[in-house]
Amino acid sequence: MRYRRLIAPGGTFFFTVVTFARTAWFGTGETVELLRDAFRNVIRSHPFEIDASVILPNHLHMLWTLPEGDSDYPTRWRLIKSNFTRCFTGKNDSPIISSRLKKNEQAVWQRRYWEHQIRDERDFTRHVEYIHYNPVKHGLVQTPAEWKYSSFHRYVEQGLYSLDWGADSPKIEDITGME
């Protein structure tokens, strides 16, 4: 069966991308920085806006808006994943990675990712809140402000959130069906 992706030029999309076997590759600042470099490299050649993001040890959530007339987020994800994988595997001597790469198997990422086109402002807000609350949901921190690999801090700087947003355990619904 052929997998189908939604084509919506200039659309805004929510993504969940997971590491292979949910391995905690993003458990250090060094690997998070490699991932951020991969994003910067791809954005230079294939621009898009990152509206919200969170990088957790074994998965990430992103909210992107594509340029008008452009619907090619699959290419962007392919480039980001391959860019990160090249840099990461060059710096990582994990036997798991080595054996999987020798067999030409996926070593760092799950093959597919979850995507959802944002329908309206309410849908956008729900997904931003889900992204920012996700480290708390997974028990990594007590409040979103404690997680440094998140756009939450940018939202606070812009006055969109108070620093204590999410500290009182708001009801953030599971919008992905993925976790």
By annotation, the residues acting in catalysis are 149
What crossing angle do the helices spanning 73-91 and 29-45 adopt, rounded to 10°?
140
User: Phi and psi at residue 128, in whole multiples of 5°?
Assistant: -60, -45
Instruction: Specify the 3-state DSSP secondary structure of 52.
Output: strand
Question: How many CA atoms does the CB half-sphere of 160 hold within 13 Å?
Answer: 12
Do residues 133 and 52 make contact, with C-beta atoms less than 8 angstroms apart? no
- In Å, the largest CA–CA distance within the chain is 49
